[in-house]
Structure formats: structure tokens, C-alpha cells
Amino acid sequence: MTKLSVNINKVATIRNARGGNVPDVVRFAQDCERFGAQGITVHPRPDERHIRYADVFALKEVVRTEFNIEGNPLGERDHVDEGPYSFVDLVKAVRPTQVTLVPDAENVLTSNAGWDTECHQTYLADIVREFQSCGIRVSIFIDAIPRMIELAARTGTDRVELYTESYASHYMVGKERAIQPFVEAVHVAKANGLGLNAGHDLSLENLSYFHQCVPETDEVSIGHALISDALYLGIENTIQQYLNCLR
């Protein structure tokens, strides 16, 4: 079964809007696991506009499923109570199950492109080895482009995460056409010995069809849509509905 990792960034966004610790992101992560989620994802950014570096350390102490930290290893340094940390420092200190390398610029609202694995081949290979030497599984966030996937495999990465925004945005106007690049991408990934994750704009509306066509997916990471659905359905019911899409 494809695993569901819940991205809890939006919970931290709500907390930060008011100050204090409501909602409590650590308790929320524990509840997600209790309700069936098989992983927790966070994407700390240097400005700490949602998940803070201190949250990552706190979550490491309680997450019992897979813990996935997303981010850009080229990001600027930031500060938490424990001292100054870059993204690389943070990941090596926490040692999550998985680190997902995402090439987002500091000023972007959300991740909007995958790595150019040709341009950044040497750097990615070096950082993949660095994280793997700490026992951390590495995934590279990437567009569904065969050439980029083949070059990602040369870095030694364990997995790639397919950037699914194009699938989600074209789903309603032609789901068969929208899914086709991802079906091809899966074949390329598997032929190159890569594990496969997927994420960005997957929802209750489009997840079942994605999974039906790409059942080889190891994990989906879903945040914005899932947290939005939980406002209406409740978090327990929402997680169950997403899990049903993956069965």
C-alpha cells in the first residue's frame, strides 16, 4: 500500500498567525499518526513562516511513523534555541527517516518546480552522500521528465518525489492526458532502481485516479488539501478518506 505522509505546515501557519501554541503542531502530528497516517512531513523555511526549526526537534521526539523533512539544502542559516543551524545541520542533527530535497527559493509561496538534475548533478550527488552517510533516506523533488529522472538516479538518491501540480491542475479537463507523463515517469524511475514518492496539490478529488494509474508509488505527501478538508470533515475522518483513496 502507498503510504500517506501528512504535511503539517498549514497547522503551524494557523498557530503562528495568532502566537502562542494553538493549535499544537506536536499534538496534531501525534493525532495524525493515531488516526492512521503512516508519516509526518514538515518543510521548514528560513523565515519560519510556518514550521519552525524548534518544531522539528520537538517532533523528532514524538513521531513514531516515518518522519520526512523537506527543504532546500542551499538555504540560508537560521537560529533556534540550540544554536545556529543551516538546513543541512538541522537534518543531520535530527536524522529523520527521510529528507526530501526541494529547490524552492526563499521568497516563493510554495514549491513550484523540481530540480534541474543536470545543472545540479555534482552538488546533489555530494549532498545525497552526506545525508546517506547519516543513515537518512534521500528523495529528490523532480518534475515528471524522463531525462531529469535518469540524471537523478546518477546522484545515488534512494527515491524521487514527482511534482504533481501539473496533474492536479489538468485533472478536471482531461485526467487521462494529465496522468500520462507520470505513468511514463514511473517506468523510468523503476528502470533506474529508484523508489517513488509524489506530492503537491493531490486531493480527495484526484488522488484515487493517480493511485490507480501509478500504484507503484511508495508514498504521497499531502498537506494543504488535507488540512483544508479537515476543516469540514474533521482530521480523523479526513485521514481515513485519504487512506481509502490509496487502498
Q: Which three-class secondary structure string do you get for the chain? A: CCEEEEECHHHHHHHHHHCCCCCCHHHHHHHHHHCCCCEEEECCCCCCCCCCHHHHHHHHCCCCCEEEEEECCCCCCEEECCEEECHHHHHHHHCCCEEEECCCCCCCCCCCCCCCCCCCHHHHHHHHHHHHCCCCEEEEEECCCHHHHHHHHHCCCCEEEEECHHHHHHHHHHHHHHHHHHHHHHHHHHHCCCEEEEECCCCCCCHHHHHHHCCCCCEEEECHHHHHHHHHHCHHHHHHHHHHHCC
Nearest-angstrom CA–CA distance, 97 and 109: 26
Annotated catalytic residue: which of 43, 50, 120, 211? 43
- Which of 70, 161, 211, 219 does the annotation list as catalytic? 70
Please report, rounded to a whole number, the percentage of residues in the chain having pLDDT higher than 70: 92
Check if the beta carbon of residue 23 is closer than 8 Å to that of residue 238: no
> Which is nearest to 210 in space by CA: 143, 157, 165, 240?
165
pLDDT value of position 86: 86
Question: Of 33, 50, 161, 200, which residue is the catalytic one?
Answer: 200
- Sorted by where each starts, the structural domains of the chain and their CATH numbers stand as 3-245 (3.20.20.70)
Q: What is the pLDDT of residues 137-160, one digit of tens each?
A: 999 999 999 999 999 999 999 999
The predicted structure's pLDDT at residue 106: 57
pLDDT tens-place string over residues 171-184: 999 999 999 999 99
Cβ atoms of 135 and 95 within 8 Å: the answer is yes
Q: Is 205 a catalytic residue?
A: no
211 annotated active-site: no
The reported pLDDT for the residue numbered 46 is 82
Cell numbers 508519516 correspond to what residue? Answer: 39
- Please provide the distance, in angstroms rounded to a whole number, between the alpha carbons at the two ends of the chain: 7
Q: Is 200 assigned a catalytic role?
A: yes
Sequence letter at residue 139: S
C-alpha 130/C-alpha 124 separation (Å) is 10
Give pLDDT tens digits for 69-94: 999 887 444 444 444 568 999 999 99
Q: What's the average model confidence in pLDDT over 7-35?
A: 96
